[in-house]
Amino acid sequence: MITSPANRPGESGESAPTRTWDQQDGQSIPGRISDRFSTSWKRFSASRPGRRFQDRYAYRKSLRRQRSRRLVRSHWLRKIDLARVFYLGAGLILICLSALGGWLPVLGWGTVFLGLGLIAGEFRPAARLMDWLEVKGRKVGRPLWEHYLNAPRWLQVVLPVTIAFGTFAFVAWSLMALFG
């Protein structure tokens, strides 16, 4: 956090106002990670289904442009956007790791979609793919979800627990068969 020099703690008896690094450009980005996450999530969920990932891509692109205008681009290392490298790298790592657990219900395909979501913020074709998958997934998933919600309460509790224990038993059996 940046504090203004005139209002340092102890000089005027008051606690110093804190600013985030981006307030100097007239835009305030919340300082805490949880605030940034909740702001980002609200922006994402407010977008229309079928456009969410493309809107996130456009927003991240505008942030990159703003950041590039502020930076002095004299050295080749400064031209590398570390946030973009992180998102792309983390997404690729999640997709590759999910190939190992692809047969698991959540750990396999869930991490593929999480990795694609990370990449979609930085790469337009991935954003378009994720928007297409969201629309198709809603068509298939909505009737299944409504059947699940209309099921008796005992079945709503037993079904996820059974899937979780079945997955755990399958992993344990596979590891015992593999390692003896």
Provide the mean pLDDT of the chain: 76
* pLDDT tens figures, 4-21: 444 444 444 444 444 444
CA 97 to chain centre: 17
Q: What is the pTM of this model?
A: 0.60
Sorted by where each begins, the domain ranges of the chain are 32-141
Q: Crossing angle for the helix pair 82-100 and 109-120, nearest 10 degrees?
A: 160
- The H or E element containing residue 19 is strand 18-19
Q: What is the pLDDT of residues 107-127, one digit of tens each?
A: 667 788 888 888 988 889 999
Within 10 Å of residue 98's Cβ, how many Cβ atoms? Answer: 19
Give the count of beta carbons closer than 10 Å to the beta carbon of residue 49.
11
